[in-house]
Structure 1
Amino acid sequence: MTGADRAGSGGSGPPGSAADAGKPDGGPLLLGVRHHGPGSARAVRAALDAAGPGVVLIEGPPEADVLIPLAADQDMRPPVALLAHAVDEPGRSAFWPLAEFSPEWVAVRWALEHDVPARFVDLPAAHTLTWRAADDRTADRDTADQGTTDRDTADEPAPASFADVRGDPLAALAEAAGHDDPERWWEDVVEHRGAGAGDALAPFAALEEAMGALRETENDVERDGDGDGGHDRDLVREAYMRLQVRAARREFPRGVAVVCGAWHVPALRRRTTVAADRALLRGLPRTKVDMTWVPWTHRRLSRTGGYGAGIESPGWYAHLFAAPDRPVERWLTKVAGLLREEDRIVSPAHVVEATRLAGTLAAVRGRPLPGLGETTDAVRAVMCDGSDVPLALVHDRLVVGDVLGEVPAGAPAVPLQRDLTRLQRRLRLKPDAARRELDLDLRRDTDAERSRLLHRLRLLGVDWGEPAASRGTGTFRETWRLRWEPELSVRIAEAGVWGTTVLSAATARAEADAVTARGLAEVTALAERCLLADLPDALSPVMRILADRAALDTDVGHLAQALPALVRSLRYGDVRGTDTGALAEVAAGLAERVFVGLPAACTALDADAAEEMRGHVDAVHGAVGLLGDAPAPGHGDLRSRWRAVLRTLSTRDTVSGVVRGRAVRLLLDDGRLAHDEAARLMGLVLSPGTPPADAAAWIEGFVGGGSGGGMLLLHDERLLGLIDAWLTGVPADAFTDVLPLLRRTFSAYEPGVRRGLGELVRRGPGARGSVTAAGTATAGFGPGLDTARADAVLPVVRLLLGRDTQAGTDTGTGATGPGPTGEDGRPPGPGGNDLVGAET
Structure 2
Amino acid sequence: MSGPTPVLLGVRHHGPGSARAVTAALDQCAPSAVLIEGPPEADAIVHLAADPGMRPPVALLAHATDDPGRAAFWPFAEFSPEWVAIRWALAHDVPVRFIDLPAAHSLALNHGGRGRPSPVPAGDAPGSPDRSAGPCAAPRLDPLAALAAAAGYDDAELWWEDAVEHRRAGGRPGGDALAPFEAIAEAMGELRATFGESESESGCEGGCDGGSDAAREAHMRLKLREARREFGDGLAVVCGAWHVPALTEKRTVAVDRQALKGLPKVKPQLSWVPWTNRRLSRHSGYGAGIASPGWYGHLFHAPDRPVERWMTTVARLLREEDHPVSSAHVIEAVRLADALAAVRGRPLAGLTETTDAVRAVMCDGSDVPLALVRDRLVVGDVLGEVPEAAPATPLQRDLSRLQRTLRLKPEGRERDWELDLRKDTDAARSRLLHRLRLLGVDWGEPVCSRGGLGTFRETWRLRWEPELAVRVAEAGVWGTTVVGAATAKAESEAVGSAALAEVTALAERCLLADLPEALPVVMRVLADRAALDADVAHLAQALPALVRSVRYGDVRRTGTAALGDVATGLAERVFVGLPAACAGLDTDAAAEMRGHLDAVHQAVALLAEAAPAAPTPSKGPAGPGSSGLRGRWAGVLGVLAEREGLPGGIRGRAARLLLDDGRLAEDRAARLMGLALSVGTEPAEAAAWIEGFVGSGGSGGMLLIHDERLLALVDDWLVGVPAEAFTDVLPLLRRTFSAYDASVRRTLGELVRRGGADGGTAARGVGGAPGFGPDLDPERAAAVLPTMRLLLGLDTGGDTGGETDGGTGTDTGVGPDRDTDALTPAMARAGGAGR
TM-score grouping bracket, smaller chain normalisation: 0.7 to 0.9
1:316 matched to 2:316: no
Instruction: Tell me the equivalent position of 1:53.
Output: 31
Superimposed CA distance per residue, residues 580-634 of structure 1 (whole angstroms, 9 cap, x where no aligned partner): 1111111011111111111011112121111111100000000000011647799
* Matched AA of 1:210: A
Instruction: Tell me the equivalent position of 1:119.
Output: 97
3-state SS of paired residue (1:518)? coil
Instruction: Tell me the equivalent position of 1:3.
Output: none
Instruction: Tell me the equivalent position of 2:763.
Output: 766
Instruction: Tell me the equivalent position of 2:699.
Output: 708
* Matched AA of 2:693: F
Cα deviation for residue 706 of structure 1 reads 2.9
Superimposed CA distance per residue, residues 681-702 of structure 1 (whole angstroms, 9 cap, x where no aligned partner): 1111111111111111111111
Superimposed CA distance per residue, residues 688-736 of structure 1 (whole angstroms, 9 cap, x where no aligned partner): 1111111111111111123611111111111111111111121222111
Instruction: Tell me the equivalent position of 1:347.
Output: 326
Segments of 5+ residues of structure 2 without an aligned counterpart are: 117-131, 200-208, 617-626, 756-761, 781-787, 792-835
Superimposed CA distance per residue, residues 151-197 of structure 1 (whole angstroms, 9 cap, x where no aligned partner): xxxxxx974465x5565321221122221211100000000112234
1:421 matched to 2:408: no
**CA shift in 2, pair 1:529/1:289, >3 Å:** same
Instruction: Tell me the equivalent position of 1:252.
Output: 231
* Matched AA of 2:414: R
Please show how residues 652-731 of structure 1 align to structure 2 within 5 Å: 652-706=643-697, 708-731=699-722
Cα deviation for residue 391 of structure 1 reads 1.3
Instruction: Tell me the equivalent position of 2:178.
Output: 201
Mark the structure with the bigger radius of gyration.
2
Superimposed CA distance per residue, residues 544-578 of structure 1 (whole angstroms, 9 cap, x where no aligned partner): 11111111111111111100000000112321011
1:76 matched to 2:40: no
Q: Is the 8 A contact 1:96 1:306 kept in 2?
A: no
Cα deviation for residue 273 of structure 1 reads 1.4
Higher mean displacement: 487-496 or 623-632: 623-632
* Matched AA of 1:234: D
Whole-angstrom distance in 2 between the partners of 1:367 and 1:77? 33
Please show how residues 396-545 of structure 1 align to structure 2 within 5 Å: 396-471=375-450, 472-545=452-525
Instruction: Tell me the equivalent position of 1:214.
Output: 191
Q: Is the 8 A contact 2:697 2:739 kept in 1?
A: yes
Whole-angstrom distance in 1 between the partners of 2:600 and 2:417? 31
Q: Is the 8 A contact 2:708 2:771 kept in 1?
A: no
Instruction: Tell me the equivalent position of 1:756.
Output: 747
Cα deviation for residue 517 of structure 1 reads 1.7
Instruction: Tell me the equivalent position of 2:13.
Output: 35
Partner of residue 158 from structure 2, selected from 162, 168, 184: 184
Q: Is the 8 A contact 2:109 2:211 kept in 1?
A: no
Please show how residues 128-207 of structure 1 align to structure 2 within 5 Å: 128-133=106-111, 159-160=134-135, 164=138, 167-196=141-170, 197-207=174-184
Whole-angstrom distance in 1 between the partners of 2:51 and 2:345? 43
Instruction: Tell me the equivalent position of 1:150.
Output: none
**Aligned-residue CA RMSD (Å):** 2.4
1:576 matched to 2:553: no
TM-score after normalising by structure 1: 0.84
Q: Is the 8 A contact 1:170 1:182 kept in 2?
A: yes
**CA shift in 2, pair 1:393/1:337, >3 Å:** same
3-state SS of paired residue (1:489)? helix
3-state SS of paired residue (1:31)? strand
1:102 matched to 2:80: yes
Cα deviation for residue 513 of structure 1 reads 1.0
3-state SS of paired residue (2:110)? helix
Partner of residue 594 from structure 1, selected from 574, 583, 589: 574
Partner of residue 291 from structure 1, selected from 270, 280, 286: 270
Q: Is the 8 A contact 1:127 1:286 kept in 2?
A: yes
Cα deviation for residue 533 of structure 1 reads 0.1
* Matched AA of 2:420: D
Partner of residue 354 from structure 2, selected from 339, 355, 375: 375
Whole-angstrom distance in 2 between the partners of 1:721 and 1:543? 51
* Matched AA of 2:239: C
Higher mean displacement: 554-563 or 90-99: 554-563
Percent of aligned positions that are identical: 72
Cα deviation for residue 461 of structure 1 reads 0.2
Superimposed CA distance per residue, residues 642-679 of structure 1 (whole angstroms, 9 cap, x where no aligned partner): 01100000000111100100100111111111111111
Cα deviation for residue 307 of structure 1 reads 8.2
* Matched AA of 1:343: D
Higher mean displacement: 299-308 or 621-630: 299-308
* Matched AA of 2:40: P
Instruction: Tell me the equivalent position of 1:832.
Output: none
Whole-angstrom distance in 1 between the partners of 2:367 and 2:778? 51
Q: Which has the higher contact order (CA 8 A, sep 6+)?
A: 1
Q: Is the 8 A contact 1:36 1:98 kept in 2?
A: yes
**CA shift in 2, pair 1:158/1:195, >3 Å:** closer
Whole-angstrom distance in 1 between the partners of 2:778 and 2:107? 80
Whole-angstrom distance in 1 between the partners of 2:590 and 2:745? 26
**CA shift in 2, pair 1:136/1:466, >3 Å:** closer
Instruction: Tell me the equivalent position of 2:244.
Output: 265
Segments of 5+ residues of structure 1 without an aligned counterpart are: 1-17, 140-156, 223-229, 779-785, 790-840
3-state SS of paired residue (1:186)? helix
Structure 1 consecutive aligned stretches of length 4 or more whose deviation exceeds 6 Å: 304-307, 631-636, 772-778
1:242 matched to 2:221: yes
Superimposed CA distance per residue, residues 316-338 of structure 1 (whole angstroms, 9 cap, x where no aligned partner): 10110011111111111111111
Partner of residue 628 from structure 2, selected from 637, 647, 663: 637
Q: Is the 8 A contact 1:82 1:294 kept in 2?
A: yes
Instruction: Tell me the equivalent position of 2:304.
Output: 325
3-state SS of paired residue (1:90)? strand
3-state SS of paired residue (1:543)? helix
Instruction: Tell me the equivalent position of 1:649.
Output: 640
Q: Is the 8 A contact 1:589 1:633 kept in 2?
A: no
Superimposed CA distance per residue, residues 81-139 of structure 1 (whole angstroms, 9 cap, x where no aligned partner): 00000000000000000000000000000011111111111111001000114x759x9
TM-score after normalising by structure 2: 0.84
Q: Is the 8 A contact 1:95 1:306 kept in 2?
A: no
1:91 matched to 2:69: yes
Whole-angstrom distance in 1 between the partners of 2:698 and 2:324? 46
**CA shift in 2, pair 1:390/1:220, >3 Å:** closer
* Matched AA of 2:418: D
Whole-angstrom distance in 2 between the partners of 1:233 and 1:332? 44
Whole-angstrom distance in 2 between the partners of 1:777 and 1:485? 74
Whole-angstrom distance in 2 between the partners of 1:109 and 1:271? 31
* Matched AA of 1:169: P
Q: Is the 8 A contact 2:219 2:260 kept in 1?
A: yes
Q: Is the 8 A contact 1:443 1:476 kept in 2?
A: yes
Q: Give the paired residue count.
A: 731
Cα deviation for residue 406 of structure 1 reads 0.3
Q: Is the 8 A contact 2:448 2:459 kept in 1?
A: yes
Q: Is the 8 A contact 1:39 1:193 kept in 2?
A: yes
3-state SS of paired residue (1:537)? coil
Whole-angstrom distance in 2 between the partners of 1:220 and 1:681? 81
Cα deviation for residue 741 of structure 1 reads 0.6
Whole-angstrom distance in 1 between the partners of 2:133 and 2:66? 39
1:560 matched to 2:540: yes
Instruction: Tell me the equivalent position of 1:391.
Output: 370
